[in-house]
Structure 1
Amino acid sequence: METTALQKPTYEVGARKWLITITVITCAIMELIDTSIVNVATREIAGNLGATIEETAYVISAYAISNIIIIPLTGFLSNIFGRKVYFTASVVLFTIASFLCGASHSIEMLIFWRFVQGIGGGALLATAQTILVETFPPEEIDKANGIFGAGIVMGPTLGPVIGGYLVDNFSWGWIFYVNIPIGIIATFLSWKYIKGTKLPVVGKVDYLGILFLILGIGSLQLVLEEGERKDWFNSNFILISSIIAVLGIAAFIIRELKVKNPVVDLRVLKNRNVLVGAALSLAFGMAIYVSVFLYPVFVQAFLGWNATRTGLLILPSSFLTGILMGVNATLLQKGVSPKTLVIIGFTAVIGYEFITYFLATPTSGEWDWFWPQMIRGFGFGFIFVPVAGLMLSGLKGDNLAQASGLSNMLRLLGGAIGIAITNTYVTRRFAVHRADLIGNISMYNPESNERFYGLVRAFQSQGKSLQEAQQMAAGAMEGAVSTQAAIISYAEGFLLIGIICLAVLPLVFFAKIKKGEIVDVSGTH
């Protein structure tokens, strides 16, 4: 009887409703910002802590690994401790770990506290929308989904912008200290206003499943994060980690399919819509995180933009995404098929990737990038909620929660896989293009000769000797070749993600949605 009473929906009203909304959305955005905020500070951290760039890369990897491990466990842990206690404790853990990250005096200490920070942060992301669903009545859930969806897109995008500003104007420690006042306020508000929903755990806890999940997914994430830096399978570390990942994931799948009370119920993948939605969530994660990876690097490295300029151009498209997510939630409630909306969304994202491939040149300016970014924002606005609606269509009770948890995990995993694939692809294409272009620099090529001797004369006019001028001219031409090769390679990176999304899109037609069926998006958490 107690369980029934606890599960009975009681929605919030007035100021309390919006205080809860602001609290959980802020926490989710804060956690997503921290997935990418360190990317712009690796050199400063390495120099300050006396570490190599390779060692500093583990600061990024540690957070991603703990994030992706904890997300599928959040539903299970919420049931054990209660949502109020678990969410508030996660905010506290994230805030304390943020302080200790900023105060770290060694790279080992920073890596450890980043891992702990990721445990708290992953729980914030996975629990936030569940709390929103309990806060808003069904007729207003589109508002919550729109705000939450905008945070999903804006968080990783804003990370490098905020990180760049803090590092440029303060010090690298402030990329972590900035979380502390927000975390303190969020701790107070979450403990005061979030309900203590708690469900009994039936049967034995699947500790073996948790162990296999940590070993399998954790090792896989480590391989994806470190593979390119360590030359993939030429590294014994990557080889051993890959073996552990394969064995761990295989053991996890077998365990979860056989055990009576699995920590992650993979049986929901027998549902065709869940399977299709899982694949689309993976591709969606690739598109979001790779765009955050490629776009800032391109405009800052090759166009000379600063972090603020880079971020301001993205903001309008992110706001468009948030607006459209609310619109899509309303359309689903009115009976519009999620398949139609997903096709529109992925088509726009594919269009963005292909357009960017052609526009990514050394002479492109803000307006060349603004409209493609708006197309990207439009596409993302038509993906998040409809994919969740398609994936959760027809599910009830615990199956709905399990499928939603899988969706969150796969979106993050898609980002890791996408960045690993794209980074490797861009690096190898750079070598190919550089070799092709360097072959054009020859004494037998009139154009390269003219360019070379023009540079020699320019350097001589600055007072350099003939030998110095020739060396500087050769270096300048080689640098120009490398830059051009890099620009072409990054442009092809955008094209690669477009092709992957294009390959995944036909899976939509395998989903089964009854004509006129109203999809309940209140379970998209």
Structure 2
Amino acid sequence: MDRLRPLLGFAGVIMLAMANELNETVSDAALADVSGGLGFSHDPGTWYQSIYTAAEICGMAFAPWCEETFSIYRFAMFVAALGIAPTVCIPFTHNLSLLYIERWLQGLDTGFTVPCVMTIALRVLPPPIRLWGLACYAMTATFYPNLNFAFAGLWTDLVGWQFVFFQCVPFDVIAALLMWYGMPRDPLELDRFNNFNWAGVLLVLVGVSSGATVFEQGDRLDWFNSPLICVLSVLAVGALPLFIINEIRHPSPLLDFRLMRRRNFAYGVVTLNLFVILTECSTTVPILYLDEVMGFRTEQSQLVVTEIACLQFIFLPAMALILNRSWVDARYLIGLGLGAIMAACIGESNLTVEWYRDQFYAWQALQGMGEAMIVVSLVMMATNDLTPADGPFASGLINAPRATGAAIGGWLVDLVHRWRGSLHSNRLADQLGRERFRTYQATGVSWRHPAPLLPNGAPRAPGSVTAFREEFSKQVAVLTISDTFLVFAGVAGLMFVILLILPVRTYPPRIAIPRQRLPRALKSGG
């Protein structure tokens, strides 16, 4: 029973992370219904998202210091309570300023939660089963985010939009009970306040919040044509380098950047950021096609993404089983995963207006397999050189860039849509003008696709011009989404280049961690 209690505590932290991940992703997927229910328009809705993202990144930076100071048990219980309070209040809040405060607290709570998972995993999981625990941690990157559209469709179309928020309450309560029973109790270390890193906190709040807001709001505000984006960009560019310098020099850093001297850990930090960006091609982009071209609601399109989540129950344990073999090199497994995702992106880039939901299933399965191969191998490589004492700082350093990657991924999709979408729209409109009397105002070249206007300029039928405009928009959307898949294939290619340069060979935790404890002479002799 004594051996089981820490594992139950770890399960509680996993469940807490699941609740907060669903809180973030489901509310984003159901933003239109939430906006309508609370009575705010599109522009306030964008701030509703960006405030959450900025607070989440700040929370991931603050979590390591809080874990060390207040103990992981007290801090995790506080995080569980903090997750319930604003979540229950939001459906009844119609004051926009108060809503933003509650959303900021939600984001901070999510930022606090995810680093706790890695911290407690490094502390309570012995080497023989650590890889299985890391596979559970990998679910926070590959499983929970892919459930968002399924839950969003369930609550908004069948139950009620308020349950977008209420869904998290039972998970938080169960998580709190498991953590209360199983997590280790450590004493308070309040003397750490004597050496508190005030400069680091200020620089994180200014730099991270500004940078996240630039990525979230830049496209809507027309980037550097907006004075707000210009000011926030200057603040981010100035504060973030100062933050890194401060953390390296400070005796009590929020994030220990000295861990980046370890090659595999540095590889994990960089690649996990890119991996989160890459996952946009398996979630946001297919849903975008089904929404813009097919006109699907969330309930109809969610199966394309839910497929990836369900497959993780097969792929994540399989990857843990494979990586637990001493002859398996995790770098090759990551390479195969990147190849699978790249192949899926190239395959999905061949989509046409005739594609339906069924055409995505095979490629999405390939995406799901590739994601599982990458994330389990990546987390194993990054954590093998870490000790339990490194856990809080390592978890914050890994997860803060991960949250940043989510903002960058959304920005990348918006950038491609603005850049390539405008290009395709202009070119198709130009082609339409040059061939007007063959495609737009003519007898038509096909009885199945008649021109919207007769040769004399009169509408061929009521609504024919509107229908033609809709088809034109669909063609622009298809070409733009095709380009988006190719851009993400390029991101996978960049990750492959980094794989060839940065990481070194590592072994499963059951082999690698005992070796680290051997005397240097014995290790070199073996």
Shorter-chain TM-score bucket reads: 0.7 to 0.9
Number of the residue aligned with 1:347: 339
Number of the residue aligned with 1:264: 255
Amino acid at match of 1:342: I
Structure 1 residues not aligned, in runs of 5+? 1-9, 461-465
Number of the residue aligned with 1:315: 306
Quote the Cα distance in structure 1 between the aligned partners of 2:392 and 2:450.
Answer: 70
Native 8 Å contact 2:9 2:181 kept in 1: no
Return the offset for 1:430: 1.1
Number of the residue aligned with 1:59: 48
Number of the residue aligned with 1:513: 504
The verdict on how the C-alpha distance between 1:254 and 1:11 changes in structure 2, with shifts beyond 3 A counting, is farther
The sequence identity of aligned pairs, in percent, is 20
Number of the residue aligned with 2:379: 388
Q: CA deviation digits over 1:129-181, x for unaligned, max 9?
A: 43344444322233322233234212222123212321223443221122223
Query: SS in structure 2 opposite 1:351?
Result: helix
Native 8 Å contact 1:142 1:327 kept in 2: no
**Structure 2 counterpart of 1:220, from 191, 211, 220:** 211
**Structure 2 counterpart of 1:85, from 59, 67, 74:** 74
Return the offset for 1:272: 2.9
Quote the Cα distance in structure 2 between the aligned partners of 1:67 and 1:74.
Answer: 10
Native 8 Å contact 1:20 1:193 kept in 2: yes
Return the offset for 1:98: 0.2
Query: SS in structure 2 opposite 1:440?
Result: helix
**Structure 2 counterpart of 1:337, from 326, 329, 339:** 329
1:97 aligns with 2:86: yes
Native 8 Å contact 1:285 1:410 kept in 2: no
Quote the Cα distance in structure 2 between the aligned partners of 1:473 and 1:454.
Answer: 14
Q: CA deviation digits over 1:79-129, x for unaligned, max 9?
A: 111111111110111111101112211222222101101112222222124
Number of the residue aligned with 1:410: 401
Number of the residue aligned with 1:6: none
Amino acid at match of 2:106: Q
**Structure 2 counterpart of 1:121, from 110, 128, 142:** 110
Structure 2 residues not aligned, in runs of 5+? 517-526
1:30 aligns with 2:22: no
Amino acid at match of 1:56: G
Number of the residue aligned with 2:169: 180
Q: How does 1:484-495 map to 2 (within 5 A)?
A: 484-495=475-486
Number of the residue aligned with 1:5: none
Q: CA deviation digits over 1:272-323, x for unaligned, max 9?
A: 3333322211110101245322122222332344433433343343233343
Native 8 Å contact 2:197 2:254 kept in 1: yes
Number of the residue aligned with 2:523: none
Quote the Cα distance in structure 2 between the aligned partners of 1:453 and 1:316.
Answer: 39
Number of the residue aligned with 1:479: 470
Aligned residues: 507
TM-score (norm 2): 0.87
Quote the Cα distance in structure 1 between the aligned partners of 2:481 and 2:20.
Answer: 28
Number of the residue aligned with 1:143: 132
Native 8 Å contact 1:356 1:494 kept in 2: yes
Native 8 Å contact 1:23 1:186 kept in 2: yes
Query: SS in structure 2 opposite 1:439?
Result: helix
Quote the Cα distance in structure 1 between the aligned partners of 2:167 and 2:68.
Answer: 31
Between 1:475-484 and 1:146-155, the stretch displaced more is 146-155
The verdict on how the C-alpha distance between 1:207 and 1:470 changes in structure 2, with shifts beyond 3 A counting, is same
Return the offset for 1:473: 2.3
Quote the Cα distance in structure 2 between the aligned partners of 1:213 and 1:87.
Answer: 22
The verdict on how the C-alpha distance between 1:471 and 1:432 changes in structure 2, with shifts beyond 3 A counting, is farther
- Aligned-residue RMSD, C-alpha: 3.0
Q: CA deviation digits over 1:229-280, x for unaligned, max 9?
A: 1111111111111111111102101211222221111122233333332221
The verdict on how the C-alpha distance between 1:425 and 1:206 changes in structure 2, with shifts beyond 3 A counting, is same
Quote the Cα distance in structure 2 between the aligned partners of 1:392 and 1:136.
Answer: 12
Return the offset for 1:55: 0.8
Native 8 Å contact 1:39 1:160 kept in 2: no
The verdict on how the C-alpha distance between 1:189 and 1:394 changes in structure 2, with shifts beyond 3 A counting, is closer
Amino acid at match of 1:428: W
**Structure 2 counterpart of 1:433, from 397, 415, 424:** 424
The verdict on how the C-alpha distance between 1:215 and 1:372 changes in structure 2, with shifts beyond 3 A counting, is same
**Structure 1 counterpart of 2:97, from 89, 105, 108:** 108
Number of the residue aligned with 1:39: 28
Quote the Cα distance in structure 1 between the aligned partners of 2:323 and 2:188.
Answer: 30
Q: CA deviation digits over 1:398-432, x for unaligned, max 9?
A: 44543342222222211211210221111221111
Native 8 Å contact 2:9 2:180 kept in 1: no
The verdict on how the C-alpha distance between 1:198 and 1:238 changes in structure 2, with shifts beyond 3 A counting, is farther
Quote the Cα distance in structure 2 between the aligned partners of 1:515 and 1:117.
Answer: 37
Between 1:87-96 and 1:137-146, the stretch displaced more is 137-146
Native 8 Å contact 1:434 1:485 kept in 2: yes
Amino acid at match of 1:421: L
Query: SS in structure 1 opposite 2:195?
Result: coil
Amino acid at match of 1:214: L
Q: CA deviation digits over 1:481-502, x for unaligned, max 9?
A: 1111011101211111110120
Native 8 Å contact 1:150 1:322 kept in 2: no
Q: How does 1:158-169 map to 2 (within 5 A)?
A: 158-169=147-158
Quote the Cα distance in structure 2 between the aligned partners of 1:251 and 1:404.
Answer: 21
TM-score (norm 1): 0.88
Quote the Cα distance in structure 1 between the aligned partners of 2:301 and 2:436.
Answer: 42
Quote the Cα distance in structure 1 between the aligned partners of 2:340 and 2:188.
Answer: 41
